[in-house]
Amino acid sequence: MSASIGLIASRLRLEEKRLLDAFAQRNVEVEVVDPRALRFGLTQTSLPWQVALNREISGTRARYGALSLEAAGVTTLNSAKASEICGDKWQTSVALREAGVPTPHAALALTPEAALDEIAEMGYPVVLKPLSSSWGKRVSLIRDADAAEAVLEHCAALPSPQAHLIYLQAYVEKPGRDIRVVVVGDQAVGAIYRSSKGWRTNVAKGATTTICDLHGDLADIAIGAARAVGADIAGVDLVEDTDGRLLVLEVNSGVEFAGLQRALGEGCDVPGKIADLVIERAGAVPAGALS
């Protein structure tokens, strides 16, 4: 079976290789496209793909690639709008709040100086995050005014104007773990705990993964978070507060699922679910015909 599907990726990680295997198992041809070689004309209205699965690791290339593909009539998963929202923590927080998805209090200060006043109002400790970052990079837990001044002085000295915009999120006391849920289409397909001795629980920072029971409330909140940002495929990060309430921290559009797949085993076929969704969108099979 053939389908006009492009997989956009400048680097084939384990996730992309498993996705290609999933398409091959379904006898669907996929063209791997390196976005570093892509260029788009303003009057370009046709490309060789009906659907593009955007797995580009560079957030900037992923967003502009999706925008340009969609302008040429290519359905892109995730969409340019979803990539933009997920790539900006403040936009994500606003979208979650507007959709009624439970999320920690957050604030945006347009200068490091204004951030000092906002932190004093929010109270310590508070988490400072870059607007766009992954893998826990440049995320700081600020416990007192001296630490706040030091971190904000560093932000003010950075050359990027975006680094001077300060995103703050209320710190949530958690039981040494957070939760990652992968959502594909309208289904939460699997969940894991990410546990760490430190306060950050990113797998990239050494967190360990174990199976998390995907109960109704967890699944519903994760699906609601993905819908709020418009993502067809999402990694939703949640945390439990001291009362056991679930709060959504972030939504990732270019979700890495290798850690979740290892923890859950082959009984949870994340790449297969993604492949099925992409094939349906390409019209290679009737919607819902794939399990």
Return the pLDDT at 202: 57
pLDDT of residue 136: 59
Q: What fold does the segment set 5-86+275-282 form as a domain?
A: Rossmann fold (3.40.50)
User: What's the rounded Cα separation, in Å, for the pair 286 and 271?
Assistant: 19
Q: 146-201 pLDDT, tens per residue?
A: 999 999 999 999 998 888 999 999 999 988 899 999 999 999 999 999 997 766 65
CATH number for the domain whose boundaries are 105-170: 3.30.1490.20
Share of the chain above pLDDT 70, in %: 91
Task: For residue 66, give both structure tokens.
Answer: 């999706």
DSSP the chain: ----EEEE-SS--HHHHHHHHHHHHTT--EEEE-GGG----TT----S-SEEEE--SSHHHHHHHHHHHHHTT-EEES-HHHHHHHT-HHHHHHHHHHTT-----EEEESSHHHHHHHHHHH-SSEEEE-SS--TTTT-EEE-SHHHHHHHHHHHHHSS-GGGGSEEEEE----SSEEEEEEEETTEEEEEEEEE-SSS---GGGT-EEEE----HHHHHHHHHHHHHHT-SEEEEEEEE-TT--EEEEEEESS---HHHHHHH-TTS-HHHHHHHHHHHHHTSS-TT---
Whether pLDDT at 137 is above 90:
no
Q: What angle do CA 80, 70, 6 make, to 5 degrees?
A: 95
Domain 177-266, CATH: 3.30.470.20
For 71-130, the pLDDT digits (tens) are: 999 999 999 999 999 999 999 999 999 999 999 999 999 999 999 999 999 999 999 998
Single-letter code of the amino acid located at 87: G
Closest CA to 261 of 207, 213, 190: 190
Ranges of each domain in the chain: 5-86+275-282, 105-170, 177-266
pLDDT higher than threshold 60 for residue 28: yes
